[in-house]
Structure formats: structure tokens, C-alpha cells
Amino acid sequence: MSYSITEPTARVKWLAGGLVVAYALITLVPLLWIIATGFKSGADSIAYPPKVLFEPSLEGYVNLFTDRTRATPEMLEAAGPPQNWVEQVARDQGQVIAGPSRFGERFLNSVIIGFGSTALCMILGTAAAYAFSRFRVPLKDDLMFFILSTRMMPPIAVAIPIFLMFRQLGLSDTHLGMILLYTAVNLSLSVWLLKGFIDEIPVEYEEAALIDGYTRFQAFYKVVLPQAATGIASTAIFCLIFAWNEYAFAVLLTSGNAQTAPPFIPTIIGVGGKDWPAVAAGATLFLLPVMVFTILLRKHLLRGITFGALRK
């Protein structure tokens, strides 16, 4: 058999495949456990030894989205038959539904703040990266280093100044405040990553477009952006993951109005005791958007992480 640099041998393929599967198992088991716990009953969730096989229940999800009160049998009797299956699930636990919980609201806040800051970061980051890549910016190298240096300190180190600033500006506990904050934190790394991607796009493409009768902005829009799509997608995922998971600032700066899901999920307390199925259900739903976003952009992401290796 002839030897090829790019084509691995069958044995290497099996070995590599095995390693990937083993790694996937290690990382996926906790994830699967969370998803499974979301569908367990309260009793099953804390059963010892742990139950791998169980009867699925929507208790966790119902409890996640509702506030309930414990009811005596007489009260249940007086309330009449349950109106729908949601109420039925609550009744089965000896509770009545008092109203919707705040999870939906918190989740929506996460979506607005996470995607909002990612979008803003991409717009500003791409524009800045393009300028640094293409234009003669005075003190370019020093500025680039300065931008990176803003990221060298852990953001939480400036928590107190930011807290005071936000209070002065009326940005505390607002969506806008959180979007601006996450954008500011992510922007430096985004500019660096994006500049790398834009640097790789030969300037001849734009020059050709200029000669073809396009303005500089049209050339940017028609030629640079599509070719930078890979870089923008992978940078966007990095930004979204940070903003989506961020906990410390969210605890510090939000409470009532703009609180995101991460500080909210641990506060889900059942009526009497920690409600693990509800926490797991919240965690499962919380995982979904980033997962979907990453899967949607996965083609770009893979190419982005290999840093243009596939591009001619």
C-alpha cells in the first residue's frame, strides 16, 4: 500500500475514532445526566443508588415554569378537578399552581443580552479589525497591543468601578447596560481574531472590486464580508459563549429587571427542598441556544478554527 501524507491508514483511523468516542463519552455523560434528570420525578432525582432507568416525568419542566403552593387535601378538593395536564402534574405533587415562574423572563433576558452583545460586538469588531488591517492607522501596533491588554486583567477585577459607574449612569439592571458590558469585554479579543482573518484576505480582492466599479464600502460588503464569514462566525460563537455563561457580573449588576438565566437557575427552589428536576430542566433549556447556534455555524466554525487552512 502506498503511503500518503493526507490519508491516514486504517489502523490510525480506528485509533483516532476510538479516542474521539472515548472523549465524547467522558464529556457527554454529565450532559446526558442533566438532561435525564430534567425528566425525572423529584424522588427519582435523589434516589440512591442513582437510577439510570426511570419513568419519565414532566414534573421538572412544570415546576420550572410555575410557582406553586403546597395544598392540603381539603384545599385540593375545594379547587375542583385540574383544568389541564400542567395542573395535573402539580396536583400529583400535592401542590396548586400560584402563577408562572420568572424563568421564561430570565431566559428571554439571556437571549436578548447574549445575542445583542454578540451582534454589537461583531459589528464594531469587524469594522475595527478591517480598519486596523487595511488602513494606515497611526501607532497601529501600539493600539493593537493596548486593545489586547484590556483583556489581560480578569474583567471581574474592575467589578467595583463598573458597579459604581453603572449606578451613576442608570445602567444597573438594564439590558442595555449588560449588552454594553459584555460587548466591551469581548471586543478586544474579537478585534484580534477578526483582524487575523481579514489580514488573510488578499487586498487584491478589494482592489479588483474597486476597478470593477465598486466603491470601497461596496467592495467591503461584497468581497471582504463573504470571505470573512468564517472568521466572523467563529468569533461570534466565542463571544456568545462568554456572554451567555457569564455569572459574576450578572449577579452583581442585575436583580429584578435584566437578570439573566445563570444567576437565576441556582435559585430555583422547590416547595420544600431543592427541586433538582427543575434545576436540571432549566440547565437543559439553557444549553440549547448556544448548542443550536454552534451547530448552525458549525461548517464555518470548523474552517475558522483551522484558520483558513482550507481556503486557497
Residues that bind another protein (CB under 8 A): 202, 204-205, 207-215, 218, 223, 226-227, 229, 311-312
* 163 vs 214, beta carbon nearer another protein: 214
Output the smallest distance, CB 8 to another protein, in A: 24
Q: How far is the CB of 212 from another protein (least distance, A)?
A: 4
Q: How far is the CB of 202 from another protein (least distance, A)?
A: 7
> What's the min distance (Å) between Cβ of 134 and another protein?
13
Given the complex with another protein, which of 136 and 312 has the nearer CB atom? Answer: 312
| R_g of the chain, CA atoms, integer Å | 25
Q: Could you give the angle at the alpha carbon of 179 between the alpha carbons of 177 and 184, nearest 5°? A: 95
Find the shortest distance in angstroms from Cβ 5 to another protein.
21
Q: Which is nearer to another protein, 170 or 226 (CB)?
A: 226
Smaller CB distance to another protein: residue 30 or 138? 138
What's the closest the beta carbon of residue 136 comes to another protein, in angstroms?
13
Of the pair 141, 204, the CB lying nearest another protein is at 204
By C-beta, is 163 or 205 nearer to another protein?
Answer: 205
